[in-house]
A and B are shown apart, each in its own frame.
Chain A
Amino acid sequence: MLILLQTLATGIVLAGLYSLFAIGLSLGWGLLHTINFAHFSFVLLAAYVTYELSTAAGWDPVVTMVVTAPIGALLGLGLQLFVTTFKIDVFGTLIVTFGLFLIFEAAMAMRWTADLLRLPSEINPYFTSAVRIGPIRVSMLLTIATALAVLACVGVWWLLKHTRTGRGIRAFVQEPEMAAAFGVNYPQLSLVIAGIAGATAGLTGTILGMYLSLTPTVVEVWIAVVFAVVLLGGLANPIGVMGAAFVIGMVESFTRQFADPAMARLMALVVLIIVLVFRPEGLFKRLVQEARE
């Protein structure tokens, strides 16, 4: 019984990390028509920034978020300005951002070399300490990630559902011409979304900087599982992202505990494929569907 609860708790915080990682990607794809492969680069860059500020400048790694979130936001804004200026379509953004991803990877390999960089545990107590709920223990770091994820997802949901900005964006995604005719300034609103998406990449990077041994290719193993969450969650649906991350996190946690830990990530993808065969639109619906002419 205890082990079941423990596995459940681990699944929940894994889900937190995955939804924090996926929410920005989902927003960009669903609302801005940008499949931002460079999201992974933004995350890794932020992770290195956290590493540098904590080791060289002696910051508490959690506090580095005040730097990594704005860096992520600026990168998101820059990319969105580029995409709007050159009117790049969805497929085009995938190619462009994949190119960006490769450039970032090369640049980071030059700056930080291929050596493993790990925050020493004395400056990163979050990694080793745990939150106890009765007999259950969960990683302090992943608990922080989960709190951030809930904040980000619920915040974005509220923005989209209950604010004028959110209404404008949803209207534009459905009926761009009519939204513009009633005053929606999409280029401006798209920057809000791109900035938020980028900021979540920065936050994710700080968490990963504390969680992993960094190499310039370390994010690659996360690509599949994060895209799985994005696809299952329904594009730009923050609640869906949380739901999908929950499913994937649980599958992973239970596989790790009760079957083969090496299979854990793979099982998440098996779930993705099975779900997409039966429900191509994912487990959850897109927040807004485009009007089909």
Chain B
Amino acid sequence: MLEVRGLHAAYGEAEVLRDVSLTVPEGRIVALLGPNGAGKTTLVKAIARLIPITAGQVSVGEVDLQRLPRHRVVEAGVAIVPEGRRLFTQMTVEENLLLGAYSHTARASLKETLALVYARFPRLEERANQRAGTLSGGEQQMLALGRGLMATPRFLLMDEPSLGLSPLLTAQMFALIEGVTELGVGVLLVEQNVARTLEIAGYGYVLEQGRIVQEGDREALLGSERIREAYLAL
């Protein structure tokens, strides 16, 4: 279980997250919805310890992530597929994947994980020696997901993985995300594509101006006025 409790975060004086609490169970997809600027990316980064938090707690099982040095968060089981992909663009596809398995925990099963990722993304295997920066947008997004999986995470934080993808690729991406849960990985999924997201997510949270304003399972969210009006344009 990935648990966030009473989390606050700020950029300088401006408080961006206020008292955010949420839970991601293993093997489930949890959606994080909200308008632009709500603080979704900030929340993802705060969980991965890429930015400091001002109050609150983030834990995986018994492990308090705040107590770990930044580079050990991945060993606790949290990997990230960040907004804008942020690949190591000058390194090859395979080097990016190997870097995904950099941690001590992931390195033990490197060969098997690599085979598994290549089986799921044959495109990446074809282009193993190509520089990541020269991949198409869709391929880059797959690589970002593949890199995240290489860390053998228990929880994957995915920030707008369908951004900029064609409808066909978006459908593929969502199928791949669903596939991730079969590995027992819990996914926190930030998405603009709310309709699609609520097809695969069992539970969701709505973040507005840094606060969780609503949460519930799929049916509750689909039935809610706020969601229908603001996010589904029904």
Q: Is A113 interfacial (CB-CB < 8 Å)?
A: no
Are A185 and B71 in contact, with the CB atoms below 8 A? yes
Given contacts A167-B98, A171-B99, contact A181 B80 (CB under 8 A): yes
Q: Can you list, as one digit per residue, whether each of B87-130 has a CB less than 8 Å from chain A (1) or not (0)?
A: 11111000100111011101100000000000000000000000
Are B73 and A181 in contact, with the CB atoms below 8 A? yes
Contact of A183 among B50, B90, B91, B104 (CB under 8 A): B104
Residues of chain A lying within 8 A (CB to CB) of residue B218 = none
Are A168 and B79 in contact, with the CB atoms below 8 A? no
Are B102 and A168 in contact, with the CB atoms below 8 A? yes
Q: Can you list, as one digit per residue, whether each of A147-187 has a CB less than 8 Å from chain B (1) or not (0)?
A: 00000000000000000100110110011011111111110
Give the number of A-B contacts (CB < 8 Å). Answer: 72
Q: Is A288 interfacial (CB-CB < 8 Å)?
A: yes
Closest-by-CB residue of B relative to A182 is B102
Task: Tell me the residues in window 54-101 of chain B with beta carbons closer than 8 Å to chain A beta carbons.
Answer: 69-75, 79-80, 82, 86-91, 95, 98-100
Task: Tell me the residues in window 169-221 of chain A with beta carbons closer than 8 Å to chain B beta carbons.
Answer: 170-171, 174-175, 177-186
Range class of the A interface residue count:
20 to 34
A167 to B100, CA, bound (A): 11
A175 to B132, CA, bound (A): 13
A144 to B103, CA, bound (A): 40
Closest-by-CB residue of A relative to B74 is A183
A14 to B213, CA, bound (A): 70
Are A177 and B74 in contact, with the CB atoms below 8 A? no
Q: Is A57 interfacial (CB-CB < 8 Å)?
A: no
Q: Is B147 interfacial (CB-CB < 8 Å)?
A: yes
Residues of chain B lying within 8 A (CB to CB) of residue A288 = 90
A181 to B151, CA, bound (A): 10
Q: Is B48 interfacial (CB-CB < 8 Å)?
A: yes
Are B90 and A174 in contact, with the CB atoms below 8 A? yes
A185 to B89, CA, bound (A): 20
Are B79 and A182 in contact, with the CB atoms below 8 A? yes
A287 to B173, CA, bound (A): 33
Q: Is A291 interfacial (CB-CB < 8 Å)?
A: yes
Are B88 and A177 in contact, with the CB atoms below 8 A? no
Residues of chain A lying within 8 A (CB to CB) of residue B69 = 185
Q: Is A289 interfacial (CB-CB < 8 Å)?
A: yes
A76 to B71, CA, bound (A): 24
Contact of B71 among A174, A184, A289 (CB under 8 A): A184
Task: Tell me the residues in window 260-292 of chain A with beta carbons closer than 8 Å to chain B beta carbons.
Answer: 288-289, 291
Are B50 and A177 in contact, with the CB atoms below 8 A? yes
Interface centre among A168, A182, A289 (most CB of B within 10 A): A182
B residues whose Cβ falls under 8 Å from a Cβ of A: 48, 50, 69-75, 79-80, 82, 86-91, 95, 98-100, 102-104, 106-107, 147, 151
5 pairs of A and B residues whose beta carbons are closest in the complex: A183-B103, A183-B102, A185-B71, A183-B74, A171-B88
Q: What are 11 of the A-B contact pairs (CB < 8 Å)?
A: A167-B98, A170-B88, A171-B102, A174-B88, A174-B91, A177-B50, A180-B70, A181-B73, A181-B82, A182-B99, A182-B100
